[in-house]
Structures are given as structure tokens and as C-alpha cells.
Amino acid sequence: MSSPYGPDATGARAARTTTLVTGPIRSGKSRHAEDLLWDHPDVTYVATGRRADPADPEWSRRVESHRGRRPGSWRTLETTDVATAVADATGALLVDCLGTWLTAVVDDAGWDDLEAASATVRQEVDRLVESLCAATVPVVVVTNEVGWSLVATTPSGRLFQDELGRLNALVSRAAARVHLVVAGRVVDLSDAPVVPWEPRPRTLDA
């Protein structure tokens, strides 16, 4: 099966600028992603998750500690429009992370009508992957690997896992390099064969 983004989405990987860093929660993948861009002179950190919230002191401390460990010259951009951030970038980007980005996209689409939300999510995923394929600046993207975190076995939980799995697969195919981080150890998957990915019919109650 050919890629939904044309032959260039699986070929000419060396010409790409994106590195995908994936792994379980608390694996060290975000720190590894930061290390990959540590010495780059111009970096924007794209935060896709919740902002610091005065009503949630623990979360606020976590956000501030993450900011504090990054170089002071880095800029922070809080947005869910990652595709535009990639398209407009003039320097390197670190996008952290796709799981929180996907949650925000589904939140905006609404969880009440999951079939409609899924269609909206797929449009946004396609737009993001297109931007990564066309990126001309270094982009490091962090994501959670599906199956290595607790997700409720509900229709909405299955929707999230299905769509994150699809998103991870497409970004992996659009990336020049793919790194798997487990317990702080890094495995470079970049030269592993790309397994053809084919969508299967999905039912929310399956």
C-alpha cells in the first residue's frame, strides 16, 4: 500500500529534518529530546499540554521545573496548532508531546460524538504530518508509545489509542530518525525496515 502522503512519506528519509522520540511515560524521552537540540542556537519549545494552573500547584511546579532545566535562550510556545508552528519556524522546534496534543484536539472536537471527533482528529493529524514532511528546520517530536500507559477501556479511550497509534505511525514514516527511549536508555530505530501501515475498519465498541 502506498503512503497517504505519497512516495516521499516513506522514501528519501535522509532529506527530512524531523526526529521522532517515543517511549513510555517517565522513560526519559523528553530529556533525550532536549539533549538532541541542546547546542542548537535557536530553539522554540512547543508545549502542547496544559499550562501552569494556580489551582493545581503540583502541575504548576512540574511545568516550571521542566522550563527551568531547558537553556535560558530557548523560547516557549504554548499552542495546539503545531502544524502552523512547524510551517512558520525559522529555527529548530521541540514539540512535546503528541499525546497531549491529541487530547486537546479531541477536547476541541468534543467527546460526545466520537465518530465526528475521529473525523476531525484525522484532518488535524493529516495537516500536522504534511507540515512535518515539508519542514526545512530541525524538528524533534516527542510522543507516548501506545500500550505503555493506562488508558480507560471505554469508547473514548479506544478512540484515543487508535488515533494516537495512527499518528505515531505516520509521524514515524515522515521522520528522518526514530529513537525509542526505555528507562533512560536510547535505541535508534532509524534504520529498521518501515512496516507498511494499513488502516483497518474501526468500531468504537470493538
**Rg (Cα) of the chain, in Å, rounded?**
17
Q: Are 139 and 95 in contact (CB under 8 A)?
A: yes
Give the whole-angstrom CA distance, residue 26 versus residue 30: 9
**Grid cell listed for 77:** 510556545
Is 66 catalytic? The answer is yes
Q: In angstroms, how far is the first alpha carbon of the chain from the final one?
A: 25
Coarse DSSP helix, strand, coil percentages of the chain, rounded to the nearest 5 percent: 40, 15, 40
Give the whole-angstrom CA distance, residue 175 versus residue 203: 29
Note the Cα 64 to chain centre separation in Å. Answer: 21
Annotated catalytic residue: which of 32, 40, 66, 179?
A: 66
In 3D space, the residue among 201, 202, 183, 180 whose CA is nearest the CA of residue 191 turns out to be 180
Give the whole-angstrom CA distance, residue 173 versus residue 5: 10
**Grid cell listed for 147:** 500500550
Other Cβ atoms closer than 10 A to 112: 8
| Residues forming the active site | 66
